Amino acid sequence: MGRAHEVPVSFDNVRDKNMMQLTKLNLVIFPVKYDGRYYSDALAAGDFSKLVYYGDICVGSIACRVERVSATTVKLYIMTFGILAPYRRLGIGAKLMGHILDVCHKNATVLEIYLHVQTNNEEALAFYRNFGFEVREKIENYYTDIEPPDCYLLVKELSRILKGRNTT
């Protein structure tokens, strides 16, 4: 008997030539339609917005917005993070989040990562907690077109790690 073939997971930056992949994923995964600004922010985020491939199939993405805090520091806002349903629970999302955290740790300018999660999305809350995100606050009526409309603001501070690093 042969060993099971492990399908490789790979990442690609979001760019003009693959923007349609991100658009299609978002239509399938999320209950919200995103506007042009979302896609401009995802494109501008460079290494912080990725498509994830399982073999040669695009199965998920993370799209971030880089927010300038000062001349030398930024915050990273996760606008969307999703994996197609048939590919969940295979560790693909964890690999994608691990990759983004590695990019953040190598980029000494990122102070924190934050995002909003719908209050009833227990699976997402558990996922982010596993990566050290903490609930900062509950925001009522954050969403206008989905139920429930409330969300949690989740934050992962990286400044504690950066303070011990020599960034010169």
> In whole angstroms, what is the distance from residue 32 CA to residue 54 CA?
25
Give the tens place of pLDDT for each residue, 81-135: 999 999 999 999 999 999 999 999 898 899 999 999 999 999 999 999 999 999 9
CA neighbor of 158 nearest in space, from 116, 106, 117: 106
143 catalytic per annotation: no
pLDDT at residue number 161: 47
Question: Is 116 among the catalytic positions?
Answer: yes
Q: SS in 3 state form for 36-50?
A: HHHHHHHHHCHHHCE
Label residue 162 by pLDDT band (50, 70, 90): very low
* Predicted pLDDT of residue 119: 97
Q: Are 154 and 121 in contact (CB under 8 A)?
A: no
E strand or H helix that includes residue 135: strand 134-139
Question: How far apart, in whole angstroms, are the C-alpha atoms of residue 77 and residue 86?
Answer: 26
Give me the catalytic one of 54, 77, 128, 152.
77
Contact (CB, 8 A) for 105 and 161: yes
Cite the DSSP H helix spans in the chain.
Answer: 19-29, 36-44, 92-106, 122-130, 159-163
pLDDT tens string 4-39: 556 689 999 999 999 999 999 999 998 888 999 999
Single out the catalytic residue among 116, 128, 142, 143.
116
Q: Is the pLDDT of residue 144 over 50?
A: yes
Q: Which domains does the chain have, with CATH numbers?
A: 9-163 (3.40.630.30)
Kindly report whether the global pTM for this prediction surpasses the value 0.75.
yes
